[in-house]
Amino acid sequence: MKIAIVSDLHGKIITLKKLMADVFPTVDEVWWIGDLFYNYKKDPVAMAESKEVLTTLSNYRDKPCLFIAGNTDNMTDFQSFSSRFEPDSFYKKKMGKDTFILTHGHLYETRKSLIKLAQENKALIVISGHTHLAGLVVEENILLINPGSPSIPRDEEATPTYILFSSDEKKFQVKHLPTGDTLQELYYNS
């Protein structure tokens, strides 16, 4: 199974359309790790774009989607979408023998707190966003996975990214959205 993992879209409809055209047809599922709507502004342009993202995602039925709420996803303007978000601050997902924790990360902002969350839930893997910095790190035998942001990246090169996860190969890849190139790769054994 191949899964696209995306965080921090921040209401960018052009980025969503690129993901839907180039990435989503190649995967079996999509995991949204929060901050789908608005880009820290509530100006008319940002709100119109965010509403288009909301409409597009509300009507998307091609692939199963899992939605984790981020710190910008609780606006009353997007209340109609709120029932699609998992209700808790993190979501525990089992795939075979592997246990994943999915969280936006705004409530667990340090590696230490993410590792503690994984350990308390007997999970091997934590997937979080919020920082807009892509990365695949192993610390204290916990995989810390961050897809970065395809819209507002915060690394030095401003690299728009997402994660491609292959459950069969047990492989995470940080992918460059414009080119599809693999920027970082991590295999794991459970």
Domain boundaries, the chain: 2-187
d(CA 32, CA 30): 6
pLDDT at 60 over 80: yes
Contact between 143 and 188 (Cβ < 8 Å): yes
- Structural domain 2-187, CATH architecture: 4-Layer Sandwich (3.60)
Q: What percent of the chain has pLDDT over 70?
A: 99
Find, among 184, 150, 185, 154, the residue nearest to 5 by Cα: 150
Question: How many residues can be counted in the chain?
Answer: 190
- Is residue 133 within 8 A of residue 120, CB to CB? The reply is no
pLDDT at 78: 77
User: pTM higher than 0.75, yes or no?
Assistant: yes
What is the DSSP code (8-state) at residue 79? G
- Give the C-alpha separation, 108 to 103, whole Å: 8
Q: Of 123, 106, 111, 101, which is closest to residue 5 (Cα–Cα)? A: 101
What would you report as the CA-atom Rg of the chain, rounded to the nearest whole angstrom?
15
> What's the half-sphere exposure (Cβ side, CA atoms, 13 Å) at 50?
25
pLDDT for res 43 = 86
For residue range 12-49, list pLDDT tens digits in order. Answer: 999 999 999 999 999 999 999 999 987 677 789 988 99
- 156 phi and psi angles, rounded to 5 deg: -60, -35
Please state the rounded mean pLDDT for residues 55-62: 95
Please work out, in degrees rounded to the nearest 5, the angle formed at the alpha carbon of residue 133 by the alpha carbons of 105 and 7. 55
Q: Which H helix or E strand runs over 70? A: none
Q: What is the DSSP letter of 124?
A: S
Give the closest residue to 32 by CA, choosing from 85, 92, 77: 85
Please tell me what DSSP assigns to residue 84.
G
